[in-house]
Amino acid sequence: MPIEEVESTAEDIEEMEIRGAATIAAAAAEALGAQAAASDAPDPDAFEAEMRRAATELYETRPTAVSLPNALRFVLQGMEGKTVEAKRESIRSAGRRFRNDLETAQERLGRIGANRLRDGDVIMTHCHSTDALATVEHAVSDGKHIEAFVKETRPRNQGQITASQLRDMGVPVTMIVDSAAHRYLNDVDHVLVGADSIAADGSVINKIGTSGLAVNARDRGTPIVVAAQTLKLHPGTLTGHTVEIEMRAETEVISADDRADIGEITVENPAFDVTPPRHIDAIITERGQFPPESIVSLMRELYGDMDEEPWTDPE
């Protein structure tokens, strides 16, 4: 039961060639579909075991963005039929449905989020979020003039991807280093970020630096808006689990040579942080805009009674 189809996707997610919560989810769903298509499992049980192993391989790549397990669950739970052929087809079609739903959700979310943005507004962004950019794209296509301060987002500089995509939309961009955010927040109408996971209490887990930005925004009285489709709701937090924060390589922060020059130091590189609900004004989803404290009811409605990890072996 080789699982070659998912192995390269898993590697790309781990290496961040594929990155960002929604993009990771779409790629994982596609990889499961490709694995199902290529499978030469001799019988239905072997096929199911192969799918579970493929999902586990993908699941173990990055721990923080819940869109990944949510995608895997959606596709695996779509598996039905008694023969290998039937199971194969159902996985492939669940994968297609998942990616289609994701696109539709982002489109809806974008339309809803665009209503918050007025002609002439200035936003500040952190990292690169396709959900957040969908709201700007809709606002711009509605004819609104939007300008942006884009934080570079050390250590991986995902702000450059945001800057480039905003420029493609015709949005004037001012790039700033992360520590300049407070200085410019008086000139900003909305801080607009995405999310990797949203916890049941309305906390938002997003790229490291989001929580500091939110505190600064509160200090300046600038609203902080999170654009996150419901795929980012973390069902495990309904039952008391916490969201694991990914720690990444120290070499993303400082090169081995520079570090050796300095001498004995400790380097920490958490990829994400947690912004408490009191620092967030609104969460925009494809189901509408929510105050963070009320997101739990939507989470119960959508994920209330699910099997948390269908990829674990039932035996």
Residue 37 or residue 177: which is nearer to ligand RUB going by CB? 177
| The one among 5, 50, 131, 281 contacting ligand RUB by CB under 6 A | 131
Residue 71 or residue 91: which is nearer to ligand RUB going by CB? 71
Q: Is 178 a catalytic residue?
A: no
Q: Binding to ligand RUB by residue 139, rule CB under 6 A?
A: no
Region 174-203 residues binding ligand RUB, contact defined as CB under 6 A: 194-196
| The one among 3, 21, 27, 191 contacting ligand RUB by CB under 6 A | 21
In DSSP terms, 123 is beta-bridged to 148, 190
**Residues 63/244, Cβ–Cβ less than 8 Å:** yes
Residue 84 or residue 105: which is nearer to ligand RUB going by CB? 105
Q: Binding to ligand RUB by residue 222, rule CB under 6 A?
A: no
Tokens coding 188: 């900003």
Computed over its alpha carbons, how large is the radius of gyration of the chain? Answer: 20
Closest listed residue to residue 98, CA positions, set 212, 195, 22, 4:
22
Q: How far is the CB of 4 from ligand RUB (least distance, A)?
A: 24
Q: Binding to ligand RUB by residue 129, rule CB under 6 A?
A: yes
Residue 26 or residue 84: which is nearer to ligand RUB going by CB? 26
Residue 9 or residue 206: which is nearer to ligand RUB going by CB? 206
Q: Binding to ligand RUB by residue 130, rule CB under 6 A?
A: yes
Q: Return contacts of 156-165, CB within 8 angstroms, 24+ apart.
A: 156/16, 156/252, 158/19, 158/127, 158/128, 158/207, 159/125, 159/126, 159/127, 159/128, 161/128, 162/125, 162/127, 162/128, 162/129, 162/133, 165/128, 165/133
Region 48-107 residues binding ligand RUB, contact defined as CB under 6 A: 65
Q: Is 40 a catalytic residue?
A: no
Q: Specify the DSSP class assigned to residue 282.
A: E
Residue 23 or residue 269: which is nearer to ligand RUB going by CB? 23
Q: Binding to ligand RUB by residue 207, rule CB under 6 A?
A: yes
Q: How far apart are CA 303 and CA 16, in angstroms?
A: 28
Q: How far apart are CA 113 and CA 186, in angstroms?
A: 22
Stretch that binds ligand RUB, among 53-61, 107-115, 122-130, 260-268 (CB under 6 A): 122-130
In DSSP terms, 288 is beta-bridged to 285
| The one among 10, 127, 192, 199 contacting ligand RUB by CB under 6 A | 127
Q: How far apart are CA 190 and CA 34, in angstroms?
A: 40
Q: Binding to ligand RUB by residue 19, rule CB under 6 A?
A: yes
Closest listed residue to residue 192, CA positions, set 140, 131, 103:
131
Residue nearest to ligand RUB according to CB distances in the complex: 194
Phi-psi region of 81 (alpha: psi -120 to 50; beta: other; left: phi over 0): left
Q: How far is the CB of 130 from ligand RUB (least distance, A)?
A: 3
Given 40, 45, 121, 127, which residue is catalytic? Answer: 127
Active-site residue set? 127, 196
Footprint of ligand RUB (CB under 6 A): 19-23, 65, 127, 129-132, 158, 194-196, 206-207, 271
